Amino acid sequence: MWWILFGLILIISLFTFAIVSIRSGIFIKSITQSPFNTGILTFDDGPHPVYTPLILDLLDQYQIKAIFFCIGKNADAHPEIVRRIAESGHLIGNHTFYHSIRSTFYGWKKYLSEINTTTVLLEKITGKKVLYYRPPFGITNPSIAKAIRKSGLVTMAWNIRTFDTLAKDPHRPIRKIEKYWNPHSIILLHDRLNVTVDILQYLLENGLIKQSPIFESQGNGISEDK
């Protein structure tokens, strides 16, 4: 009987790993590293009325482009910031409308509806096509995967997770980025936090991030920095 119990535990463990590890690609394939010779900064959960503009100021100052995965309800509340993101040459991705943990338990049709509602909103605000999607908390499952495929969006994950949402100061996230940064990095940060502003300022002031991917003017994706 022990081997049956062991088998069940193993199956449950593998399924749980597949759900919480977007990089595993078990349910849906994702972009997990920058395909070009320069890393990519990505920011989730915005726009935030205070911190997103500060982050945009820093990126503009150092002429670095990034991808902002916006939550629909926040974009609806602050469309002027979304427009500024797009007009500054950054890409805007879809991060669902509500960013609720409850969405993990949605059927694929309800989940797809939330993705599509956000895509329509972001494209209406910016006039540019949304191509990329990042699920809240990086969670996927068969229903979520089906919804993403139906949406036509490309899932983008990351390979450096800074855990800035848990940081009391910028030092630990900075050390992690310094340790793992390479030309194929996709860094996960959040533009709703003051600590993230400090992290970004350090990275830019100290020259860790010098090159920027060039995003096509039509907002249709990533081009290699020449």
Q: What residues act catalytically?
A: 44, 190
Which contiguous run of DSSP H or E holds residue 67?
A: strand 66-70
Q: How far apart are CA 194 and CA 165, in angstroms?
A: 10
Terminal Cα distance for the chain, rounded: 61
Is there a contact between 22 and 139 (Cβ–Cβ < 8 Å)? Answer: yes
Residue 144 CB neighbour total at 10 angstroms: 25
Q: How far apart are CA 7 and CA 9, in angstroms?
A: 5
Is there a contact between 188 and 31 (Cβ–Cβ < 8 Å)? Answer: no
